[in-house]
Structure 1
Amino acid sequence: MSQAPVTELNDRARDIFRLVVENYLANGQPVGSKTLAGGNTGLNLSPASIRSVLQELQDAGLLAAPHTSAGRMPTDVGLRLFVDGMMQVAEPSRAERAAIARGLAAGPAGGGTIEAALAATSAALSDLSACAGLVMVPRREPRLAQLSFVALTRTRALAVLVAEDGQIENRVIELPEGFASTALEQAGNYLSRRLAGRTLAEATGAIRAEISSGRSALDDASRNLVERGLAVWSEDAARRPVLIVRGQANLLDDTAARDIERVRQLLDELENAESIAGVLDAAREAEATRIFIGSENRLFSLSGSSVIASPWRDGEGRIVGVVGVVGPTRLNYARVVPMVDFTAQSLSKLIGKDGFSRT
């Protein structure tokens, strides 16, 4: 069903639609005609007249009746209409800005690392929004010191990568039957000499160019092992999202008991870091904060959740990461959207000032 533009709704329909959405976002409950007819809504309409408009809005695909009751709630299409055409955003309060600033203070300015600032900022954003906070970090590109191979069995070896900062990672690789132990040592020495002081990406291009041109002194077995070693590290780095998720417990609010299956589904979805990184990647090239509502995003469509995300930049204006939140579709968009945007801007200022030091 196509979405009706705001301009196609008459004043009465627009006022009733806005009130339904605002009431629903405030308490998470379907809104009925009696609720809208009473109180200080300013409608001055009978419940019967309101019910007629509610039905028209439902027929237009903007509202839905989740149960047999007369209460209505906005659909994903209706929420999109409200967010794009009717929502009045509110700037973050002084207290909210201060909480985000305290998270940023965990970074270089306070003697910590950028990662510490990102984790603390994500936690603060999560607490303020009552959602789960998300930060996608630039992929780690350490300067390398050594790569060695250690035989485990006749057909398996452990590739050990040591960075200049002392961090160590290892991966198991498969070897052809009858692989000579001398090839392990030769391949390790060859890689260590060419990796030292370089990032993996820098070293990989130089090594493969040297091998393909025939300038390397490696025999066939050692050359094969070098290729295997480079492949396992390069493929791993390319697909491994660097993601910080904080505040999943905030999703278990007072209304979670009424919709426990949706919350359980969302918590399961948050375990898939690679898929979440794919969602945030969609916001990387945005000039402003992106909002994905419910079924608009395939990953969170089953749980009926929304994602608000904004890119942050380094000192040269390049997008290096994304910060955001994920929560129920009934979250307070008018408050959370500018909060996420403020956080992204603050991160950009921090990175622009201090660079992306990871020591």
Structure 2
Amino acid sequence: MTGPPITELNTRAREIFRLVVEGYLDSGQPVGSKTLAGGAGLNLSPASIRSVLHDLESLGLLAAPHTSAGRMPTDLGLRLFVDGMMQAAEPTLEERAAIERRMARPGPIEAALTAASAVLSDLSACAGVVMVPRREPRLQQLQLVPLSPGKALAVLVGEDGGIENRVLELPLGTPIGALQEASNYLSAHLGGRTLAEAVRAIAAEIADGRTALDTASRDLVERGLAVWSEDSDHRPVLIVRGQANLLDETAIGDLERVRSLIDDLENKQSVASLLDAAREADATRIFIGAENRLFALSGSSVIASPYRDREGRVVGVVGVIGPTRLNYARLVPMVDFTAQSLGKLIG
């Protein structure tokens, strides 16, 4: 989704465009030419303003809802405004204090993460979201225990004493000896490694032909690793707070959109996948409306920022989700400050 650079708009068009966007973000309502002529200090007639509005609409930056003669920014227009015109306002001292105070309360790190999503929700009047750091426990062993023809139980034991089980589908006729050989091989290569490290090392060894495993045992090793890798990738831990904020007085005439957004938020796997796109960002990312497929129908925006541990590694993402008429200038720095504050608490 690309539009004209802001420099291609003349001074009059830029000013009118800015006033329409700011008026819409403030009120949630389309802005008409009479409103602009009456209170914006443009010294232009409504007819002249309508001409400029028409040009901006032709560029795909504004739209005119069929229920109103006013204009509102499109997703493309909001992107142009956010990237080229917005002047971010740093969080106030009160907002900074509220964020730090809520997250600094005694308790486990999970409590701070929940507090981060709650305080962002309170301050933004949106839904606050936090993706919990992915746990990468060091492993001790992985045993494959026969259950029935065609099935085995994969038992993963961590160095911290944690035990988790998964049912593994097997080719019919898999010999018991292959299960034992695969178990011994996996346990020998997992010790002290995270699952991701073990997967990379074992895959490289198998690819290079540096293993004496027979075909059946090698297949079991790959199946055993796959069931855990796939499971880990599809187990996002996401904290969402403040969905009720989305049902404010401006939502009364747009309940279908709000209902769609709340349904989207219930699909935590999809939300986590979207937030995951912000993990590698150097700064706060903004997803506007149809720029992401998840919230395209609900016409919603996401402001998300990665947070890091004390060694600078990205361990999660924090952000807010709400209607496209968010106060981006206020919320982008607020989300960024929250991410920095969380980073100070992560060991």
Report the equivalent of 1:329. 324
Instruction: Report the alpha carbon displacement of residue 178 of structure 1 after superposing the two structures with TM.
Output: 4.3
Report the equivalent of 2:29. 29
The one-letter amino acid paired with 1:348 is G
Kindly indicate whether residue 214 of structure 2 is the aligned counterpart of residue 213 of structure 1. Answer: no
Match of 2:131 among 129, 133, 136: 136
CA deviation digits over 1:90-128, x for unaligned, max 9? 11122221222134325xxx3412x33222212221222
8 Å Cα contact 2:134/2:316 also seen in 1: no
Instruction: Report the alpha carbon displacement of residue 334 of structure 1 after superposing the two structures with TM.
Output: 1.0
8 Å Cα contact 1:2/1:61 also seen in 2: no
Matching of residues 199-348 of structure 1 within 5 Å: 199-204=194-199, 212-214=209-211, 224-348=219-343
Matching of residues 123-162 of structure 1 within 5 Å: 123-162=118-157
8 Å Cα contact 2:301/2:321 also seen in 1: yes
Matching of residues 174-193 of structure 1 within 5 Å: 174-179=169-174, 184=179, 187-188=182-183, 191-192=186-187
Q: d(CA) in 2 for partners of 1:19 and 1:204?
A: 54
Kindly indicate whether residue 71 of structure 2 is the aligned counterpart of residue 72 of structure 1. Answer: yes
CA deviation digits over 1:323-348, x for unaligned, max 9? 22222111111111111111122223
Instruction: Report the alpha carbon displacement of residue 214 of structure 1 after superposing the two structures with TM.
Output: 4.3
Q: Percent identity?
A: 74
CA deviation digits over 1:296-345, x for unaligned, max 9? 22332222221212222232333333322222111111111111111122
Identify if the C-alpha distance between structure 1 residues 209 and 305 changes in structure 2 by more than 3 Å, giving closer, same or farther.
closer
Q: Matched residue of 2:261: which SS?
A: helix
Q: Matched residue of 2:311: which SS?
A: coil
- Worse overlay, 202-211 or 304-313: 202-211
Matching of residues 11-90 of structure 1 within 5 Å: 11-38=11-38, 40-90=39-89
Kindly indicate whether residue 345 of structure 2 is the aligned counterpart of residue 350 of structure 1. Answer: yes
CA deviation digits over 1:118-173, x for unaligned, max 9? 22212221222122223334432112344344444322223232333344332211
Aligned residues: 345
**Mind listing any 5+ residue stretches in structure 2 that lack a counterpart?**
none
Q: d(CA) in 1 for partners of 2:174 and 2:280?
A: 47
Instruction: Report the alpha carbon displacement of residue 222 of structure 1 after superposing the two structures with TM.
Output: 5.4
Kindly indicate whether residue 104 of structure 2 is the aligned counterpart of residue 105 of structure 1. Answer: yes
**Mind listing any 5+ residue stretches in structure 1 that lack a counterpart?**
none
Report the equivalent of 2:9. 9
Kindly indicate whether residue 114 of structure 2 is the aligned counterpart of residue 119 of structure 1. Answer: yes
- Worse overlay, 338-347 or 207-216: 207-216
CA deviation digits over 1:30-84, x for unaligned, max 9? 122333334x433344434433332232233221111142111111122122212
Q: d(CA) in 2 for partners of 1:204 and 1:29?
A: 53
Identify if the C-alpha distance between structure 1 residues 12 and 222 changes in structure 2 by more than 3 Å, giving closer, same or farther.
closer
Q: Matched residue of 2:152: which SS?
A: strand
Normalising by structure 1, what TM-score?
0.82
CA deviation digits over 1:222-274, x for unaligned, max 9? 55434322221123324544433333332222222322222222233334444
The one-letter amino acid paired with 1:324 is G
Cα RMSD of the aligned pairs, angstroms, is 3.1
